[in-house]
Amino acid sequence: MTAMWASGCPGRDNPVEPTVPGRQNGGMTSPAFSPTLQMRDGHTIPQLGLGVYKVEDDLATSLVDGAIDAGYRHIDTASLYANERGVGNGVRSSGVPREELFITTKVWDDDHGYDETLRAFDTSLELLQMDYVDLYLIHWPVPKQDKFVDTWRALEALQTDGRARSIGVSNFKPHHIERLRKESDVLPVLNQVELHPWLPQVETRQYNDSLGILTEAWSPLARGRVLDNDILQGIADKHLKTPAQVVLRWHIQTGTVVIPKSNSLDRIRENAQVFDFVLDVADLAAIASLETGERTGMDPDLH
């Protein structure tokens, strides 16, 4: 088995924000471009990362390598995605030291429960070929199983052991986090939820903010469906950007951690080019008008 990396602390300095050409024709890897946000446990997370949902394992290797080459330092995977091995291979082939990267993975519904979660985490580390992850999340609360508190206690133990530097949740509504507040010792540092202009998650964001929990957006472009919109196109034309870049910039300016995904390295590079313009008050108001409450995924209470 390939040797695992030695443990190291995530980078703490705010990175620079260059144009992101990527390492082409054998050039140097681009420096990190994303600003970082501090989590409630003192660690930091790059605000813009790469999601790999529905990316095949073999493709994940080349996309992760290419994304890191383009300046990405934050990669978000999960056991459900069945590409943790590919992500780990991509990280290693990039040549960027492990301690300069931020890697997230998640425990799936079938592995809820204290002992089950510990076993699932061991499997994830083996596939990633790493000896720690920067962030470990409960993927869904799955309230019908009523095991997410025991699962959370396993995450607390993993953090105590140092194998999960930070721990958080995904798709948790405020009432799910309230149970963790009442029945455990540690609050999540981050809550990853579906969030895009149709579903800005105002109530959940306000609740997270009140507890010092960062909000992270999955499906930040509503699976691409929100982009065919005249308002977004108008804002994009104004700034000489694409509608996707406008929405990603909206996430950045509203303080959200955001992890767009793509199977195209060109699109991954394009998604990073959101630090050379600013949305004004009129732009933000226009995007706020797009709220409909429409989800592209399941309601967490029903999952």
3 domain-assigned: no
302 domain-assigned: no
* Catalytic residue flag (residue 81): yes
Q: What number is the average pLDDT over the span 156-180?
A: 98
In this prediction, residue 21 has a pLDDT band, given cuts at 50, 70 and 90, of very low
Q: What number is the average pLDDT over the span 254-263?
A: 97
- Of 81, 132, 136, 207, the active-site residue reads 81
Q: What is the pLDDT of residue 265?
A: 97
Instruction: Tell me the whole-structure pTM to 2 decimals.
Output: 0.91
Residue 135: which CATH number?
A: 3.20.20.100
pLDDT at residue 28 above 80?
A: no
Give the β-pairing of 36-38 and 44-46: antiparallel
In this prediction, residue 179 has a pLDDT band, given cuts at 50, 70 and 90, of very high
Specify the DSSP element, H or E, that contains 188: none
Range of 71's domain? 36-224+254-263
b/e per residue 259-285 (b: at least 16 CB within 10 A): bbbbeebeebbbbbbbbeeebeeebee
30 domain-assigned: no
Q: What number is the average pLDDT over the span 22-39?
A: 77
Q: What number is the average pLDDT over the span 156-160?
A: 98
Q: How many structural domains does the chain have?
A: 1
Of 90, 46, 41, 86, the residue nearest 68 (C-alpha): 90
Q: What is the pLDDT of residue 111?
A: 98
In this prediction, residue 29 has a pLDDT band, given cuts at 50, 70 and 90, of confident
To the nearest whole number, what is the mean pLDDT of the chain?
Answer: 92
Q: What is the pLDDT of residues 269-299, one digit of tens each?
A: 999 999 999 999 999 999 999 999 999 999 9
285 domain-assigned: no
**Of 13 and 270, more confident:** 270
241 domain-assigned: no
214 domain-assigned: yes
β-bridge mates for residue 217, sequence order = 193, 258
148 domain-assigned: yes
169 domain-assigned: yes
Q: What number is the average pLDDT over the span 206-224?
A: 97
Q: What is the pLDDT of residue 27?
A: 57
Q: What is the pLDDT of residue 3?
A: 31
Q: What number is the average pLDDT over the span 181-193?
A: 97
